Amino acid sequence: MKPILTALLFLFGFKAIAQDSTLTRPDIKKNSIYAELLGNGGVYSINYDRIFQLSKQVKIVPRIGFSTLEDVLIFPLEANLLLSKSSTSKNFFETGIGLTVLKPLSGFSGQLLTINGYDYNFHNNTVNTPVMIRAGFRHQKPTGGLMYRTGALLITGDETLLTIGIGLGYTF
């Protein structure tokens, strides 16, 4: 009876230690809302993204955004990787790939739209989807609050263009 009681007390002691260690870990905020200038959305975009932690140093961040310019709806879609030194880091190298869906409203067909030096031709109310490749820096505290990011974007499609994107927002 004593060996069983000793073993149970020993196991409960480990369980208590494990519970204490999780209480000291900070609550990582995963949602961000931000405005980006000159990025995937053209002149500006309003965006939402969410962090999914793959390991202590790697996080994947899907993003969706919205913008409008000259009767064209713009939807930046992107999947980014955040690379850091630890799970509680606030500075990240950010890299990713995405699409920007440009949907003209009625009456815009057959016109030319220039965004960040890139020309989009709309014929028969077609949807354009240039591919974007991003490399940059992101600052986001694990506990939430102010976040900012900047990056170089390579836009590919009918032509290729290199531009920048600057974002400022809030993590919750």
CATH number at residue 63: 2.40.160.20
pLDDT, mean of residues 105-130: 71
77-111 pLDDT per residue, tens: 999 999 999 878 999 999 999 999 988 887 666 66
| Lowest mean pLDDT segment, chosen from 8-12, 113-117, 135-139 | 8-12
* Residue 1 forms part of a structural domain: no
64-80 pLDDT per residue, tens: 999 998 888 999 999 99
| Lowest mean pLDDT segment, chosen from 89-93, 104-108, 116-120, 121-125 | 121-125
Please state, in angstroms and as integers, the Cα–Cα distance from residue 69 to each residue in 11, 73, 115, following that order: 63, 7, 9
State which residues form the domain around 129: 29-171
* Radius of gyration of the chain from its Cα atoms, rounded to whole angstroms: 22
* Residue 18 forms part of a structural domain: no
* Residue 70 forms part of a structural domain: yes
* Residue 167 forms part of a structural domain: yes
Q: What is the pLDDT of residue 71?
A: 84
* Residue 76 forms part of a structural domain: yes
Q: Is 10 helix (H, G, I), strand (E, B) or coil?
A: helix
* Residue 77 forms part of a structural domain: yes
